[in-house]
Amino acid sequence: MNGLQLVFLLAALVSLFSAVMVVSARRMMHAALWLVLTLMGVAVIFVTLQSSFFAVVQVLVYVGAIAILIIFSVMLTRRVMEDQGDQVLPGWRAAALVAVLLFAVIVGFLALWQGFSAMLVELPSDADNLLELGKALVSPQGYVLPFELASVLLVAALIGAITIAVDLKEDQRG
């Protein structure tokens, strides 16, 4: 076992453990903090895949967004944010069955994928995968259509949020 595998295993274990803690923590604040740790673990896995861009964006987007999420969870919930009740739903057996079935289907499909047996290609040291990613996002042969569609969707969400937030009456009064 080399160092890279060790790092991968540690990161995977930390992410999985904290993912379990996200759904089992009693305090909402703690759940959000465990979520940060989970996403950090995913960022480390991106690093081991030599994809520094995704690792950094993972931290940038998710940790920054989770700070906002925590603020909202504090502001919109009960003061202590601590649930004393039962953590298990009445219909948990049916839910567990659906979850296991879904998991089995995903694993089944993934087992059919050829990518697992393919050998990793070592990147040449001077190759800039960031440059390639940028080109792929805007080239007509690449992903320009999904990229633009996602942009339009985000702009629509932005405008929608502003429309809801703006107070017209207040504005007209000046």
Partner 1 sequence: MDFLRDPIGFVIQWYVGWLGELGLPSSWVDVMAKLTGALVLATGAMLFVVFLIWYERKLIGRIQDRFGPNRVGPWGLLQPVADMLKIFTKEYITPIGADKITYNLAPILAVAAVLLLWSVLPLSVTVVGSDLNVGLLFLIAIGGLGEMSYILAGWGSNNKYALLGAFRLVAQLISYEVPLVLSALIPVMLAGTLSVTGIVQAQQGVWFIVAAPAAALIFFIASIAEIGRSPFDLIEAESELVAGYNIEYSGLKFGMFFVAEFLHAFTVSLIFATVFLGGWQGPGAEEIPVLGFVYLMVKTFVVYFVTVLFRGTLPRFRIDQMMNLNWKVLTPLSLALIIAMAIVGGVTRELPVFWQVIGFLLVNLLLLWAADHLMRLAQRRKTKINLAMQTGSGVLTTSTKHGTGE
CB of 143 to partner 1, least distance (A): 19
Scanning residues 13 to 42, which ones bind partner 1 (CB under 8 A)?
29, 33, 36
What CA–CA distance (Å, rounded) separates 90 from 20?
Answer: 20
Could you tell me how many residues of this chain bind partner 1 (CB under 8 A)? 23
Q: Which is nearer to partner 1, 11 or 39 (CB)?
A: 39
- 21 contacts: CB under 8 Å, gap ≥ 6: 30, 31, 34
CB of 153 to partner 1, least distance (A): 19
Q: Which of 1, 3, 90, 113 binds partner 1 (CB under 8 A)?
A: 3
Q: Which is nearer to partner 1, 72 or 103 (CB)?
A: 72
What CA–CA distance (Å, rounded) separates 122 from 35?
Answer: 32
Q: Which is nearer to partner 1, 50 or 98 (CB)?
A: 50
Scanning residues 31 to 90, which ones bind partner 1 (CB under 8 A)?
33, 36, 52-53, 56-57, 59-60, 63-64, 66-68, 70-71, 74-75
- 12 contacts: CB under 8 Å, gap ≥ 6: 41, 45
What CA–CA distance (Å, rounded) separates 16 from 115?
Answer: 23
Closest CA to 35 of 22, 48, 25, 16: 22
Contact present, 23 and 10 (Cβ < 8 Å): no
Contact present, 37 and 66 (Cβ < 8 Å): no
Q: Which of 84, 115, 124, 128 binds partner 1 (CB under 8 A)?
A: 128
Interface with partner 1 by CB under 8 A: which residues? 3, 29, 33, 36, 52-53, 56-57, 59-60, 63-64, 66-68, 70-71, 74-75, 128, 130, 170, 174
